[in-house]
């Protein structure tokens, strides 16, 4: 017993010494259970998300409809006026004749295009006159051309059409040269309004691949030629009388007609209008096939000033056995609208 007590005492003393040494090394006592108790868990303590439905009420606002209308019409008007004048004194050493000349042209075109229907009307008027000193007034140009066409679409580029065309002139025309080329002392009447005059009806097919070119093939065409002024009967040098028999004022022909037209801007200031007409009569020889080309080239110098060049080529044995032609070049005022 006495041996056990000192040994136990030694063990207690050694344990007390270790405890005091440990307290000196870490003097702050931490209770980890308390920390775990107040730990913040982000997943469990995040702010709740609240979704509220948004209701947008319908509001009726009065709107005035715009007054827009679709127009299937395309219209254009061209008016030109050309003036030329020259004057000389009586003693001017180089010589010359005072003269004045006036020329005018009017072109109207309208097209209604609402597929499959197409309607086109075109009016072309030309008139020019000149007066030289010591001579009377003489015509330099004279034409009336009025064309109307109704068509319906067959495919993308082909249409079936019917057309009505009228051609004549405004005033009387005279011949100022003899057959040998010398100046005639007494000019004689060779044409007048409706002498001749032409009325052409045609049915057929039209090829129109774009806006500026069209080709008509009139397989069923009738043309009536009028010579209402009978005073020109005895003034025809070749006696043809424009195909109308003498003592008659009317002659009808059945034929095939081909008409090709080009109406295009070659550049910003240059415009070309070209029309070719081929007429092949059924009951006459092929030698009586007629060809006519009418062309107008317009070059704008400024907004209102332009140079105009027009010409006509014609071969028709009913009017002359030789080729006919006319050409004109003028600088003047030209106005196109819209």
Domains for the chain: give ranges and CATH numbers: 77-337 (2.40.230)
pLDDT digits (tens, 9 = 90+) for 180-230: 677 777 888 899 999 999 999 999 999 999 989 999 999 999 999 999 998
Mean pLDDT, residues 79-103 taken together:
87
Whether residue 50 is predicted with pLDDT greater than 80 in this model: the reply is: no
pLDDT digits (tens, 9 = 90+) for 147-189: 999 999 999 999 999 999 999 999 999 988 876 677 777 888 8
Position 6 scores a pLDDT of: 56
274/247: higher pLDDT: 274
Residue 174 neighbours by CB under 8 Å, 6+ apart: 138, 187, 188, 189, 190
Max CA pair span of the chain:
185
Q: Which long-range contacts (C-beta less than 8 Å, at least 24 apart) are formed by 277-284?
A: 279/221, 279/223, 279/255, 280/255, 280/256, 281/253, 281/254, 281/255, 282/253, 282/254, 282/255, 282/256, 283/253, 283/254, 284/253
- Mean pLDDT, the chain, as a whole number? 85
Position 25 scores a pLDDT of: 47
Whether residue 293 is predicted with pLDDT greater than 90 in this model: the reply is: yes
Whether residue 235 is predicted with pLDDT greater than 80 in this model: the reply is: no
> φ and ψ at 243, to 5 degrees?
90, -5
Mean pLDDT, residues 138-151 taken together:
95
Place of tokens 């009065």: 62
pTM, whole model, 2 decimals? 0.77
Position 257 scores a pLDDT of: 97
Whether residue 1 is predicted with pLDDT greater than 60 in this model: the reply is: no
Whether residue 22 is predicted with pLDDT greater than 80 in this model: the reply is: no
Mean pLDDT, residues 13-31 taken together:
53
Helix (H) or strand (E) holding 45: helix 42-45
Mean pLDDT lowest for which of 168-182, 234-248, 287-301? 234-248
Q: How far is CA 13 from the centre of its chain?
A: 122
Position 177 scores a pLDDT of: 81
% of the chain beyond a pLDDT of 90 = 53
- At residue 105 the predicted structure's pLDDT band, cuts being 50, 70 and 90, is very high
């Amino acid at each position: 017993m006495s041996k056990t007590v000192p040994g136990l005492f030694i063990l207690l003393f050694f344990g007390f010494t270790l405890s005091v040494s440990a307290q000196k090394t870490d003097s702050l006592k931490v209770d980890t259970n308390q920390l775990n108790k107040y730990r913040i868990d982000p997943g469990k303590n995040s702010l709740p998300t609240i979704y509220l439905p948004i209701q947008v009420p319908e509001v009726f606002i009065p709107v005035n409809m715009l007054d827009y209308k679709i127009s299937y019409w395309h219209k254009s008007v061209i008016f030109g006026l050309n003036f030329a004048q020259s004057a000389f004194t009586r003693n001017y050493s180089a010589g010359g004749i005072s003269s004045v000349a006036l020329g005018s042209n009017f072109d109207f075109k309208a097209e209604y295009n609402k597929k499959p229907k197409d309607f086109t009307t075109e009016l072309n008027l030309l008139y020019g006159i000149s007066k030289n000193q010591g001579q009377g007034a003489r015509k330099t140009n004279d034409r009336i051309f009025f064309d109307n066409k109704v068509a319906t679409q067959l495919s993308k580029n082909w249409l079936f059409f019917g057309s009505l065309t009228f051609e004549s002139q405004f005033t009387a025309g005279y011949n100022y040269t003899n057959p040998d080329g010398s100046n005639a002392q007494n000019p004689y009447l060779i044409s007048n309004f409706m002498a001749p005059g032409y009325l052409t009806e045609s049915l057929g097919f039209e090829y129109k691949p774009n806006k500026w070119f069209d080709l008509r093939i009139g397989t069923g065409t009738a043309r009536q030629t009028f010579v209402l002024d009978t005073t020109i009967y005895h003034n025809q040098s070749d006696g043809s009388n424009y195909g109308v028999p003498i003592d008659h004022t009317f002659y009808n022909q059945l034929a095939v007609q081909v008409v090709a037209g080009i109406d295009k801007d070659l550049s910003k200031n240059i415009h070309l209008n070209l029309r070719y007409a081929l007429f092949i009569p059924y009951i006459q020889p092929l030698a009586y096939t007629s060809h006519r080309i009418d062309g107008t080239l317009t070059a704008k110098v400024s907004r209102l000033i332009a140079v105009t060049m027009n010409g006509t080529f014609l071969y028709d044995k009913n009017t002359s056995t030789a080729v006919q032609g006319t050409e004109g070049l003028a600088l003047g005022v030209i106005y196109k609208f819209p």
